[in-house]
Structure 1
Amino acid sequence: MAGMVRLDLVSHGITGALRAGRFPDDEPLLDTWAAAPVARPPAVVLTGPEQRAVRTAAVLGVRAEVDPALRDLDAGRWRGLGLAELPPEQLHAWLTDPAFAGHGGESVVAVVARVGAWLAEVAAREAAVLAVTHPAVVRAAVVTALDAPPSAFWRVDVPPGSRTRLHFRGAWTLRLPA
């Protein structure tokens, strides 16, 4: 049996889109967002390619390698739009049908599959990993770890700057804080 893998997923900090309830584009963190540095980062530190993830890693004081698999869910034509600007029937489909991709971007099913494949790669590394990424990626990782259906995606609340810990020893488990 392989050794245990520890994966810490950190959601990026506050952005204008998060504060305003808009689908993000590649935007910076708000200047007012701050976080305590990571005291002892593991040897493997990864980040999504968007500037909000890269900047969060910098705020945390870690040098991170960009991993394209940690990119945010692609909102397609909805980038930059607020929820109130969407046709109600499309918003309803987005929130209730995990296969919906009517915005021309990535469906929840697709992001869960992408993150599931990435988790398999992390498990094979057999090393502690810190990944700075996006709420959607963290949600997809939790759904995968719990072997939940993609429809559970929206039931996982991931605050900005939060840390989610997963362990792998033959299967992924979610570790809740003590």
Structure 2
Amino acid sequence: MKLWGIASGLPDDVRRGIIPARDSTGGHDSSIAAWLHATGDRHPIVAGPDVDLTALGPCPERQILTQPALRDRDQGQWHGCRLRDLPPDDVRRWIDDPDFAPPDGESGRAAFERIGGWLDRLPGGTGALIVIARPAVIRALLIRCLGGSAEMMRRLDVPPSSRSEMSRHTGWRISAIGAPLACLPHKTGGSQPT
């Protein structure tokens, strides 16, 4: 099994220090469409419900599924709030403590287990998949592949508009983390992204 983790762009609110609204999608990201076009592959896409896929345009040649388990962490009552307006001690715990949850929200550990559970349930023989999700979701998938825990989430960065590569034979292996999508892959004798 081969899995390409494509980290989407983030909503503009993030750059302004605002936790995005619950129903917001990631920023319009034409680099994902360019990367998919350059690879020439037709592998199925599994996307988080909070990413903007409009740049892909119609894709009749490829299967695109939305997977609720691949959404970013639910921030509860904090959605739409400026970080500077939240209690500083709570923000510190939100960053450092995987068991902290904003009011009516999801803890980092719960989000990690939801995302990792999806990866754990992928059946053998699934083939190749392209996962397009927010950077934190791709980060959780990578850490799960490495056998890590929710405590590791703050120790790994996966930038927006990047690709990571994972494969599973007898266990998971990672061959790339956070490679810029602008660095388009070379085709290697077929239609497989590299």
TM-score, normalization by structure 2 = 0.77
SS at match of 1:9: strand
Residue type of the alignment partner of 1:54: L
1:34 equivalent in alignment to 2:30: yes
Distance of aligned partners of 1:82 and 1:173 in 2 relative to their CA distance in 1, 3 Å threshold: farther
Distance of aligned partners of 1:29 and 1:118 in 2 relative to their CA distance in 1, 3 Å threshold: closer
- In structure 1, the partner of 2:117 is 117
- In structure 2, the partner of 1:130 is 130
In structure 2, the gaps of 5 or more residues are 180-193
State, as a whole percentage, how many aligned pairs show the same letter: 29
Kindly indicate whether the alpha-carbon contact (under 8 Å) linking 1:42 and 1:129 is maintained by their aligned counterparts in 2: no
- Alignment length, in residue pairs? 171
Kindly indicate whether the alpha-carbon contact (under 8 Å) linking 2:44 and 2:129 is maintained by their aligned counterparts in 1: yes
Shift, 1:37, TM fit = 3.8
Distance of aligned partners of 1:15 and 1:63 in 2 relative to their CA distance in 1, 3 Å threshold: farther
Q: Provide the C-alpha distance between the structure 2 equivalents of 1:68 and 1:157, rounded to a whole number of angstroms.
A: 23
> What does residue range 1-178 of structure 1 map to in structure 2 within 5 Å?
5-25=1-21, 26-30=23-27, 33-35=29-31, 36-38=34-36, 39-50=39-50, 52-55=51-54, 58=56, 64-176=64-176
CA deviations on 1:73-103 (whole Å, 9 max, x unpaired) are 1111111122212101111111111011133
Q: Provide the C-alpha distance between the structure 2 equivalents of 1:21 and 1:76, rounded to a whole number of angstroms.
A: 17
Distance of aligned partners of 1:43 and 1:161 in 2 relative to their CA distance in 1, 3 Å threshold: same
Q: Provide the C-alpha distance between the structure 1 equivalents of 2:58 and 2:174, rounded to a whole number of angstroms.
A: 22
Kindly indicate whether the alpha-carbon contact (under 8 Å) linking 2:7 and 2:135 is maintained by their aligned counterparts in 1: yes
Cα RMSD of the aligned pairs, angstroms, is: 2.4
Distance of aligned partners of 1:14 and 1:91 in 2 relative to their CA distance in 1, 3 Å threshold: closer
SS at match of 1:21: coil
Shift, 1:104, TM fit = 1.9
SS at match of 1:119: helix
Residue type of the alignment partner of 2:103: H
Specify which structure has the higher proportion of helix. Answer: 1
Shift, 1:123, TM fit = 4.6
CA deviations on 1:28-58 (whole Å, 9 max, x unpaired) are 5556x431241323432111112x34336x2
Residue type of the alignment partner of 1:21: G
Distance of aligned partners of 1:109 and 1:14 in 2 relative to their CA distance in 1, 3 Å threshold: closer
Shift, 1:149, TM fit = 2.4
TM-score, normalization by structure 1 = 0.83
Q: Provide the C-alpha distance between the structure 1 equivalents of 2:84 and 2:57, rounded to a whole number of angstroms.
A: 32
